[in-house]
Structure 1
Amino acid sequence: MATQVEASVLHGVKDLRIESRQLPPPFANEVQIQIASTGLCGSDLHYYSHYRNGDILVREPLSLGHESSGIVTEVGSSVSDLRPGDKVALEVGLPCERCPKCKEGRYNICKEMKFRSSGKSFPHFQGTLQQRINHPAKWCYKLPEDVGLDVGALLEPLGVALHAFRRSLMQPEATVLVFGAGAVGLLCAAVAKLKGASRVIIADIDAGRLEFAVQNGFAHNSYTVPMRRGKDIDESLTMAKETAEAIGKIDGVGEVDTVFECTGVPSCVQAGIYSTRPGGRLMLVGMGHPIQTLPLAAAALREVDIVGVFRYANTYPESIEIVQQAMRSKDGPDFSKLVTHRFCGLEEAPKAFEMAGKTKDADGRLVLKVVIDSSEGAPPSKL
């Protein structure tokens, strides 16, 4: 018998409505999940604010949300490894599992990928800002007792950081620079640190975020990027060189082995090229400006590899291990502190999205990751 659930549905720019949906029992290979925690991501904000994400247009009402965890409430007849009451994190991208990329394990770039809360596939694959959803058990990961549901939701962006680390081929004792101290940048820094980097420097224009990063064990040092723009490309590249030189003077680190660029801002990508040692790697993690002006000769003549990163593949089990490793670490990072604001109930979604678009709240507190609890009977927000 179908269950009636509530969902937060986007109908236009900043037009979120609560609607009822009929949720059928799970198929044999599925589980039904009461969604308990959904973190708001930059792509969610783009859809909310513009009803599009770059060139991807929303073509029908869409529930947002894809960084999620919850409680299993019902299991399909062929599911044996999960049972009601289990806490799970959801991997919400469903690849075709037939194409060459899927067969070689790179299903994140499957052309037939259906990804919850994305407008790319049509009909759209509805996101997790619903009280309950059915989802294939294969893409649900049981959380250990010591991993909470909010941290379980963070496994999705942590997967991006882990995937970036894997593609970086970073070696132990490497020196690392991260541009961008948002959630993904902080997670990239944390993964590099936990994987044995000797020095992790994080750079951003926001001094408050940098202070958070160092104080909470996400990075060893930080650099506040000046707020300035060149009047032309020559002046912009000169400024990028100056930024790289200033960062290189921190602890005498010089050029670094690996740069994780998590902003997509041209000046940071440029500085990233200049900051990377000969033979090093610049990882393009942030999705910013689609067209960039870059000093490619500075990369080519020093054999700096520029490597793209898109989502993740096969990361959840190791991400859970990373979270548990961090819990045992004496100097952090404390992943739970990334969740700075929590809203309870789908009716609070508009407030949550407005908060996620800020860097500080009305009380001057840092805004990093905003989470919505959409479960039935969720208590009112105390924010």
Structure 2
Amino acid sequence: MSTLSPRTTTAVVAHGAGDVRVEEVALRAPEPHEAVVTVAYGGICGSDLHYWKHGAVGESVLRAPMVLGHEVVGTVLRAASDGSGPAAGTRVAVHPARHEPTDVRFPEDRPNLSPGVRYLGSAARFPHTEGAFAREVVLPAAMLRTLPGHVDLRVAALAEPAAVAWHAVSRAGDVRGKRVLVVGSGPIGALAVAVAHRAGAAEIVAVDLHDTPRRIATEVGAARTLHAGDTEAVAAVDADVVIESSGNHRGLASALRGATRGGTVVMVGLLPQGDQPVQIAHAISRELHLTGSFRFNDEIDDVIAALGEGSLAVTPVVTHCFPAADALEAFAVAADASVSGKVLLAF
């Protein structure tokens, strides 16, 4: 078996609800515009946990086994033969979106809203888009982003989720000198704290049910934290900008109450499908600006530049790292928000 083009590779594969396996899968030959990347680390995302627990993420239901993972970093093993993209030996992060043509309207400057997007490790379409939780992966060279040489790959593994947080904070506009409330201090919430801190927020207050995420939020820039159950204290924050990253209706209700009159609430936490019991009259009477935030566009480039500068403090967000062979244990830890932040798999 050639070391440059192995026929199989070890991967983390979802077969259905409660059925994730570490197994050998075929590694296809790259097309001219594709590179082969040796994966160093992969961060476990909430979507990976949903495929593990439920065999679905919302309406994206597994119809066949699928390699999980979209938050990955590694090294180019074989560069694209057409000369595009980074050279062999280059350390890279991965932008997991691939854009395909669509007849559906969307703003041209916001390609993240295109229904033609394919995302690594997604069952939104069939055949599914295979993910990158594997020892080696074949990826379009256009997905690869060169990393500064001094940035640790464990830290760089946060580039993708940090780009989600960067996009969310940017949806609120300029946060310099403003009071920011972050509801839900899991990995995306903690990274939103870090991004808002870097952007010059005057005060950042982080909210969560658990001690561990509140501690992490403090370490990356929150001036103080609140227990999510203390609804009166959350409402008293009177924030100019609120980042709602809990992904449940109680968190959204707290976000609406914690915003000042005329304030902005950015909803990045993905709530379940269907109707949600939210006091929307509160938003109307206070003239709140409610805005959604979905994935990101090119913000991953801003994140990588900030990591290179050392101006984005994200290291405390990573709390655990497991060998890929122990993926099931890693998933269980990642699913327990009381003990973990971002959990990495090491390939």
TM-score computed with the length of structure 2 as normaliser: 0.92
Alignment-mate amino acid for residue 43 of structure 1: S
Find out whether 1:186 has 2:169 as its counterpart: no
- The offset of 1:173, in angstroms, is 0.5
Offset at residue 191 of structure 1 (A): 0.6
2:68 and 2:22 mapped to 1: Cα distance?
Answer: 12
Residue-by-residue CA offset, 1:154-179 (whole Å, 9 max, x unaligned): 11110111111121113310110000
- Whichever residue aligns with residue 280 of structure 1, its letter is G
User: 1:336 is matched by which residue type in structure 2?
Assistant: T
| 1:283 matches 2:266 | yes
What percent of counterpart residues are identical? 30
Distance 2:137 2:33 in 1: 14
Q: For 2:189 and 2:156, how far apart are their aligned partners in 1?
A: 18
- Give the match for residue 6 of structure 1: 10
- 2:300 corresponds to which letter in structure 1? Y
Structure 2: distance between partners of 1:175 and 1:165: 13
Pick from 316, 319, 332: which aligns with 1:354?
A: 332
Counterpart of 2:98 in structure 1: which amino acid? Answer: L
Alignment pair present for 1:221 and 2:224: yes
Match of 1:368 among 310, 316, 341: 341
- 2:304 aligned with 1:336, yes or no? no
Whether 2:44 is the aligned partner of 1:71: answer no
Instruction: List gaps (5 residues or longer) in structure 2.
Output: none
Distance 1:77 1:367, change over 3 A: same
Cα distance, 1:11 vs. partner? Answer: 1.4
Match of 1:381 in 2: none
TM superposition shift of 1:262 = 0.4
In 2, distance between residues paired with 1:7 and 1:138? 22
Deviation at 1:99, TM superposition (A): 5.7
SS of the residue 1:163 aligns to: helix
Retained in 2: the 8 A contact 1:99–1:110? Answer: no
2:221 maps to amino acid = F
Aligned to 1:226, the other structure's residue is in SS state: coil
Tell me by how many angstroms 1:256 deviates: 1.2
TM-superposed CA distance for 1:77, in Å, is: 2.0
4+ runs deviating over 4 angstroms:
97-103
Amino acid at match of 1:372: L
User: Hey, what's the Cα distance between the residues in 2 that align with 1:140 and 1:74?
Assistant: 12
Q: Distance in 1 between matches of 2:253 and 2:25?
A: 47
Counterpart of 1:268 in structure 2 is 251
Query: How far did residue 244 of structure 1 move?
Result: 3.5
Residue 50 of structure 1 pairs with residue 54 of structure 2:
yes
Of residues 301, 313, 332, the one that matches 2:285 is 301
Instruction: Provide the rounded CA distance (Å) in 1 between the counterparts of 2:227 and 2:107.
Output: 43
Contact 1:95 1:112 in 2 (8 A): yes
Instruction: Give, in angstroms, the shift of residue 207 of structure 1.
Output: 2.5
The residue aligned with 1:154 is: 158
Q: How many residues align?
A: 342
> Following the alignment from structure 1 to structure 2, what is the Cα–Cα distance between the partners of residues 3 and 212?
40
How far the C-alpha of 1:295 sits from its partner, in A, is 2.2
Q: 1:296 to 1:47 in 2, by over 3 A?
A: same
- Say if 1:102 and 1:145 are closer, same or farther in 2 by CA, change over 3 A: farther
Provide the C-alpha distance between the structure 2 equivalents of 1:165 and 1:209, rounded to a whole number of angstroms.
Answer: 19
Residue 259 of structure 1: CA displacement?
A: 0.2
Using the TM superposition, name which of 73-82 and 153-162 deviates more: 73-82
Equivalent runs, 1:197-208 vs 2, <5 Å:
197-208=201-212
Deviates more, 1:192-201 or 1:91-100: 91-100
Structure 1 unaligned residues grouped into runs of 5+: 228-239, 249-254, 361-365, 375-383
Residue 268 to residue 9, structure 1, CA distance change in 2 (3 Å): closer
Give the Cα separation in 2 of the matches to 1:90 and 1:110: 19
Is contact 2:321-2:344 (8 Å) kept?
Answer: yes
Instruction: State the alpha-carbon separation in 1 of the partners of residues 220 and 335 from structure 2.
Output: 25
Once the two structures are TM-superposed, the CA of residue 219 in structure 1 deviates from its matched residue by 1.1
| Paired residues of 1:95 and 1:102 also in contact (CA < 8 A) | no
Query: Which amino acid in the other structure matches residue 285 of structure 2?
Result: L
TM-score normalised according to structure 1 size? 0.84
- Cα 1:55–1:102 change in 2 (3 A) is closer
Separation in 2 of the partners of 1:352 and 1:217? 23
CA-based RMSD of the aligned residues comes to 2.0
On the 8 A contact 2:84/2:141 being kept in 1, the answer is no
Residue aligned with 2:176, SS: coil
